[in-house]
Each structure stands twice: as structure tokens, then as C-alpha cells.
A and B are shown apart, each in its own frame.
Chain A
Amino acid sequence: MRRTHVSTRLNGDNVDFLCEPRQSLLEVLRDNLGLTGSKEGCNNGNCGACSVILNGRVVNSCCVLAVETEGAEVTTIEGIAEGDRLHPLQQVFLEEAALQCGICTPGFIVASKALLDKEPHPDEARVRHWLANNLCRCTGYDKIVRAVLKASDQMEAKV
């Protein structure tokens, strides 16, 4: 199948890639670009393990065609830390034991970052509502919700 040339900004870098028009963004990230931090849990938009930030919005990258990212700004889990410094969300997820197997963790961190970028002080209900697109089967969500609230507090204290 003829491949299409796409120019995008990915985790702050200008990135060009070739893809088949039928390939999802998730597939291109993982198979064409080697960014395997975004996970496939369902491939139909129900689990959120493939969450990325596309032009400021959280999307399931399995439900976006890669060709749609022409000229777009994309942030994946690989672009959340600043150099070797973990993002406060990443640090707090570790401190609060907010992950067990870790497969859903990239999606939760990406989705939570998008929330805190927009709304720095969400309450528990807001966090639960925002993260309802992301499935975790290990933790029962308790420590994830607490971690996001704690990260919000910490980021506020630093500002």
C-alpha cells in the first residue's frame, strides 16, 4: 500500500514519518517510530492505555489515524519527563504506589497531565470524572486518584 509522508511535532521535536493511510497513530508510534510507551489494551477506544495529548486534548491514539497528525503537536508518555527529571505526576505515582503491573500507567499519567495543564486544582470528583476513560485492573484506582491530587498540591506549592 502506498505510504503517506507526515510532518508533525512529537514530544517537542519535528518528526517526519511515512505511514499507510490505514495505520492508527498508536500503531505508527509503536511500530514505525519505536515509541512503545503508549500501550494497546483494546484498540477501540475503551481502555485509555494508548492516551496521548494531541493539540492539547487527550485522545486515544488507537482511534486517531496517523495521517491526521500532519502539522499537529503530539505528546506521548516519552515526552512527559523533563530530561532526566521526572514530571511531578511520575514521581508521585512512584511514591504513592499508584501502579502495580504498570501497563495502564502511561495512559493515566498522560491523561492526568492533560487535566492538570488545564485545571491545576481539581477535586476528587473531577479527577474521577476525567480519568473514567482509563481502565486500571490492578489498583482499584484508590492510589491513582490520591496520586493525582497529591501531584496537584505539589505543583501548586512550587508555583
Chain B
Amino acid sequence: MTTVERPDYKIIGTSPIRPDGAEKVTGAARYAADFKPAGLLYGAILRSPHAHARVIKIDTSEAAKMPGVMAVATHTDLPAAADKVEAIGESAVNLKELSSNILAHDKVLYHGHAVAAVAARSHFEAEAAARAIKVEYELLPPVLDVRDAMREDAPLLDENRHTKVMGGQTSDKPSNIASHNRFEDGDVEKALAESDHVVDREYRTRMVHQGYIEPHSSTAMWNSDDTIQIYTSTQGAFGVRSLTSQVLAVPLSSIRVTPLEIGGGFGGKTVIYLDPVAAVLSRKTGKPVKISMNRTDVFEATGPTSGSYIHIKLGIKDGKIHAVDATMAYEAGAFPGSPVGAGAMTMLSPYDVPNFRLNAYDVVVNKPKVAAYRAPGAPAAAFAIEQAIDEACKALKLDVLNFRDSNSSREGVKMVNGVAHPRIGAEETVQAALASDHWKSPIEGPNRGRGVASGFWFNAGMQSSVIAGVNPDGTVNLIEGSTDIGGTRASLAMQLAETLQIPFEDVRPVVADTDSIPHNDVTGGSRVTFATGLATYEAGMNIRKQMAERAAKLWNCSEDDVDYIDGELHCKKDSTKTLTFKEMAAQQARTGGPITGSASLVARGAGGAFATHIVDVEVDPETGKVEILRYTAVQDVGTAIHRAYVEGQIQGGVVQGIGWALNEEYFYDEEGHLRNSSFLDYRMPTTLDVPYIETIVVEVPNPGHPYGVRGVGEVPIVPPLAAIANAIEDATGHRFTELPISPRRVVEELNQLS
């Protein structure tokens, strides 16, 4: 489905084989844990067995004497970090808190919090020595639930933390509520009072993990000249460099970060855990040190996304959303920084809502510090509002999709942060869902139901740089700094090939280290194909301009008289004068030297993404199992660059959402121990749990990009939680307002009804 006449693209919209593909299907691709320099030592980390305790004493003397042990490190080996906030893409970190998260200072704040580290000749020896470190703790009561943490009498994670409120003020009393923000417009009380129908509900979600299959791994070499080389798995090599530089108090230019292939991240690899520790151990030993997490470490001590509590009052008047009053509280984990703000700012974006008041609370609890996870904050918000809308539609006997169509946001409608939407594809997406085969097909049979939900994600722009060098044979090397997490070498090379009008296979992309390319922000925010794509386009146009200048000189004509058509230079005034891209490339040395196009920019004009999903389920009332019978995801992608990878992003996001809706949760006991830190007990979807995921790709080009690109990666995880809950309600007549809707919960709640 295309909504404007599509330019006659040659490469955009096709699905070529990715340039890094062969290495990844043969096992040759090198991921972080595969890197093994000569003389390598292995690091291990001792982690807190307690959720909340004061660290009284760390005794490493026995461990240091164990066989094979070369060095031991604690927080005293890290310089005192500044108490200031650093932006890393979609989120921000306080450096002092980051340092305390990397190696605990005076307190441990969650089960799994890193306390000390060892480097030894083998990983067996390192792990044995880490176990031999003696730590004396003074246990403190843990606070695990977001609402408990907000109570005035709750145990405090930090006695010096006061609630920041809008306008820069802070609360008088210390609190676990790190911040309270409010978004408000219109008169909510009056609007609710005059509504035809009001839904008043509370919704809860649990912490869930991104679940990337590759555990974190980092190898660091601290050289005798105080330069540091880091080989790691990250979504942003420049972020690793910047954060490590601040944690270790060394200049940026002394650190070189080489991003190896990354085995999934979904936002979770935008922060650092291991890199400074490996660096410190390397400094102490004079040898390269590698630290790799195991799966338990990943669950216990890396950033999942928040558990949440959301209370919504939704008022409908004359078939329109008239008012929303919401209280939203998200768990930040051990340190502030939950995505509650993004949750609040995305929640109402698919709609035109005249009266709203959203109170958003960022709350610390004794669980790991959250990190970004695919459209951070938005899925839990959509779980709440999209169910409330469903409930209201059913009460008022309104069609759930037609309701979304008639309430849809569009260009010019303001989001809750006051920013008006540019050209967006919200209406087109809902209308494509209405026209879909899935929506038109009946759903029949006992215990079966259908649900729909919509979702929004901003998509990010931020900073990107690329360098494109033309080779004498007419091939082009594209040097970029955006780590390739799922096919962006392909989507960028395709944009360069389209811009230069040369074959895709003639562009060879490479992801460079931080010494070899200027700054690039993280691969996150669905930004790379958009923002680094924009830089790639500009680099390509720059090459075209240089080629035109040189052709003009060769032809003794004005540059304005040179056309660039289908990868060929033409003289407007003399049709016999033409040069192909390859011919011009071959003449570089004689016409002024290497032709290099580069661009460094802040990408403005990111286009928001909208999605509407339809799902059919069957609920087994005896076992509580929910079967996904059919799933259709409709999404405005702007322009699909690599069509198959666009579909793949949508399908992957949907299945993560299915896992979140039906099975996934961090399960803590009362003492704050994480009890399901394995893939056996943290149950992610397998091939058997899902059907084929149907995709309907809507293309409303983003006016902020020459090819109309919008980010596609994040919004697919926003609607599934609510769509599935709505389908289960349709099947059972019971509304599940707490995730996950696991077999146990289904059986328990249905039994309570009968």
C-alpha cells in the first residue's frame, strides 16, 4: 500500500542478500566472545547475593593467592565519578550511579550487583577466586514493588535522593520516587464528568528482559602508553568510549573501541557493565583481559525494562475520546531512569485527545537498573490505554477499529508534550487494518477471540557520520560507525547504491572502530536506516557533485551543464560526451585524486511510526494456555528500504510482544532474589509458540528523509500486549489487567469467576 506516487527506485524496496551474510551463515563472523588475543586473561565478577545491603568490608586477600590469579579489583580501583548526567541516545545516565552499578560502592542495591572482579589464567581459576572473596554485608530490607517503593515509610535505596519535579524543584523529604512529571491540557475533571462512559482501571506489568541470545562480553587491553583498546558487544561503540572514558577519567582519544558483531541488543546493549572492569584488570596485569557474562549474570545484572503500575480513567463522549486521566509509575531498578516519560508521551499519540492529565513517576526499587528495551516505556502504556479503549468500545457497542479510525491522530495534532505531528501514517495504518483479509475473516469457535490494538513510537534522529570512498574500479567502500544489529549494512549500502545509481553489490559497507570514523550515536531509537541513511545519502550526493565538477573540467564546460543520470555523467551541450560511474572512477588519479564523500550530521525530521495489530487467540480454560491462532501487524514504515528486513523487524517485535504478554516476567521472592534467571524458567517464545506473523507494510513517506524512511524496529512491540489481552477478553469475557497472562494466571482468574 502506497499513499503517494512512489519514485522509480531501482534498489530501494528490494531484498538483496546482506553484505555480511555469508560470514554469519558459515560461523566465520566474529562476535565479542569470539575474540581471543595472545596472552589473554579471563575475568570473573563476584555478585551480590542480597537485594539490599550495606557493604561493610571486602576481603580479597585469600582470592589473590589462589592459583592462576593475576589481579583483583573493587570499586576502589575506579576513580570517583562525577555526579552528572550523560545522554546516551534514548536514555541518560548519571556517571556516579553508573560507576556504582559497575562495581558497588558502599551499598549493593539488587541481587546480582557486581561487587568485585578477578583476572586469572583460565575462567575456571577466575571463577573459583571470585567465590573466595569475602564480603561482609549489613542486610537492609528490600523494596521490590513499584507501589510499595512509593510509600512514605518504604525503605530508602538512597537516603539522599529527593523527588525531582517539573521546574527543577525537589521534594523536602527523601524518597524512592526519583522524579514526578506531569503532562496536562484541557479540563480533565469536567471532561470526565460530562463523558457518556468512563472506564476506570488499574494495569500492572512485570519487569521483562530483552532476551538477546548473546551474553555481554568485553576484552580490554590497557597499554603501557595508557591507551586502551576495547573489543566488545555494543549498540554504540562511541557510547562505550564516552562512558568508559568518564568512569575511568581518561581522555576520549586514548580509548579505541572496536565493536565486534553484536548478537542482539534491543536497547540492552546501549550501556556498559564490563568494559571499565576489564580495562582496570588489564592495567593491573599488563595483559588483555576478557570478561564474558553467563546467562544468569545477564538476567540478574543487566538492564531489563520496567515493571509498571498504570491507573487510567478514560472518558468517551459522542464516540470520541474526551478525556484521559492517568497515573503511571515505572520501576527504574536500582538507580533512576525508567522510561516512564516516554510511556506518557507515547500513550495517547495514536489519538486526538482534547483533555488529558498524565502523572508520571520514576521509582527506584531493589532490582537491576533498567535499560532501554525496544520502544522503551511504550508497550506498558499501550497495554493500559488500548485495553481501556477496547473496554469502552464494548460497553458502548462501538467497532474497535472504526473507533480508532475516527479518533485517529493526524498531521497537526499535538502530542502530550505539545509537539504537533508532522505528516504521519496513523489513519492509513488503521484503514489498512480495516481493509485486511484478517479483519474481514470471521473468528469462530469456542474459547476463541479477536483483539486489536494500536501503538506509536517517536523514532530518533541524532548524530551520524559516514565516509564513502570511490575505488578506481568503480566499487565503493562505505565506512560507517553504526553497529549493525540486524541488517543496516544492507539498508545503508542500498541507499548509497540508489543515490549513486550503481549496483548494490558494488558498495561494500564496513563498521569501523572509534578511531576510524567520526562520532555516531547508538544503534537505537530505530534511527540507523533513517539517520545514518541520511548521512549516506549526503555522502553519495557529495560524490556525484565531485564527479560532475571533474567531468566539467574534462569536457571544458560548466558544471551546470553536467547531468548525472542512471549512474552516468552526460554533457547537456554535447551528447557524445558521457562517462559512466566506473569510467569516472578510473580517472580519479588524473583529475584531482581520490573521490571521497563524507557526511557528519544531526538528523532532524525523524518520522514517527504507527502500528495497528490484529490477533486471534484460543484459550484453553483447563490448562490456561493461550494459543496464538493468527497475527497480523500493520505498520507505516515510511519507505521500506530492504523489504524483507522491514518485515523481519515487525515479526521479531511482535513475537517479543507475545512473550511479554503471555509468559515473560522477572520472578523475585520476598527477599528480592531473582528466581528464574535461565532461559528454562524465563520462558521466551519458541517456534512452537507462534504462527507465521503476517505483515502489512504501509508506506507514508517521511518528509524528513530524501527516500521517506521512518524507523521500523521499535513500534512493532507496542501493540501486542494489549491486542492479546483484548483478544483473551473477547474469548473468555474476562479482562486480564496484569501481565503476564500466563497459564497459571488464566486458570486462577477464570476459577475465581466461576
Contacts and interface: CB of A to CB of B under 8 A. Distances in A.
Interface of A: 20, 22, 30-31, 34-44, 46-47, 49, 76-78, 80-81, 86, 90, 93-97, 99-106, 109, 127-129, 131-146
B555 interface: no
Interface of B: 15, 17-18, 20-22, 24-31, 33-34, 36, 124, 210-215, 261-266, 292, 294-295, 485-487, 642, 644-645, 647-649, 651-656, 678-680, 684-688, 690, 692-693
B41 to A, nearest CB: 13
A95 B152 CA distance: 58
For the residues of B in contact with A, the DSSP-based class is loop
Contacts of B36: 31, 34
A142 B651 CA distance: 7
A65 to B, nearest CB: 14
A41 B213 contact: yes
14 contacts: A38-B27, A41-B263, A43-B295, A77-B26, A77-B27, A99-B24, A100-B487, A101-B262, A103-B213, A103-B214, A103-B264, A104-B213, A133-B686, A141-B687
A39 B693 contact: no
A81 B294 CA distance: 30
A128 B687 contact: yes
Contact of B22 (A38, A41, A86, A142): A86
A138 B27 contact: no
For the residues of A in contact with B, the DSSP-based class is loop
Considering the complex of A and B, which 7 residue pairs feature the smallest CB-CB distances, nearest first?
A37-B27, A103-B263, A140-B655, A102-B24, A100-B486, A140-B651, A97-B644
Contacts of A78: 26-28
Contacts of B22: 86, 90, 94
Contact of B213 (A86, A97, A131, A137): A137
A103 B648 contact: no
Given A43-B294, A94-B21, A102-B263, A145 B692 contact: yes
Contacts of A36: 27, 30-31, 33-34
A132 B684 CA distance: 11
A124 to B, nearest CB: 8
Contacts of A143: 644, 647-648, 651
Contacts of B685: 140-141
B651 A132 contact: no
A78 B693 CA distance: 31
Nearest to B28: A37
B26 A80 contact: yes
A88 B33 CA distance: 28
Contacts of A136: 213
A151 to B, nearest CB: 12
B212 A137 contact: yes
A101 B17 contact: no
Contacts of B292: 40
A127 B687 contact: yes
B102 to A, nearest CB: 23
A42 B678 contact: yes
A145 B648 contact: no
Contacts of A22: 124
B679 A39 contact: no
Nearest to B654: A140
A94 B25 contact: yes
B26 A47 contact: no
B374 to A, nearest CB: 11
A101 B26 contact: no
Between A37, A127, A128, A134, the greatest number of chain B beta carbons within 10 A of the residue's beta carbon is seen for A37
Nearest to A45: B680
Nearest to A80: B26
Contacts of A145: 687, 692
Nearest to B264: A101
Nearest to B263: A103
A41 B644 contact: no
Contacts of B28: 37, 78
A44 B487 contact: no
Contacts of A128: 687-688
A101 B687 contact: no
Given A34-B36, A39-B214, 8 more contacts: A41-B215, A101-B213, A101-B262, A103-B31, A104-B213, A109-B25, A138-B648, A142-B693
B264 A138 contact: yes
B295 A41 contact: yes
Contacts of A105: 24-25
Contacts of B215: 40-41
A24 B24 CA distance: 23
Contact of A99 (B15, B25, B31): B25
B415 to A, nearest CB: 29
Contacts of A99: 21, 24-25
Between B25, B33, B210, B485, the greatest number of chain A beta carbons within 10 A of the residue's beta carbon is seen for B25
Contacts of B265: 101
A134 B20 CA distance: 22
A41 B651 contact: no
B652 A137 contact: yes
Contacts of A90: 22, 25-26
Contact of A142 (B25, B27, B214, B692): B692
A97 B651 contact: no
A34 B38 CA distance: 13
A135 B664 CA distance: 14
A139 B264 contact: no
A123 B692 CA distance: 14
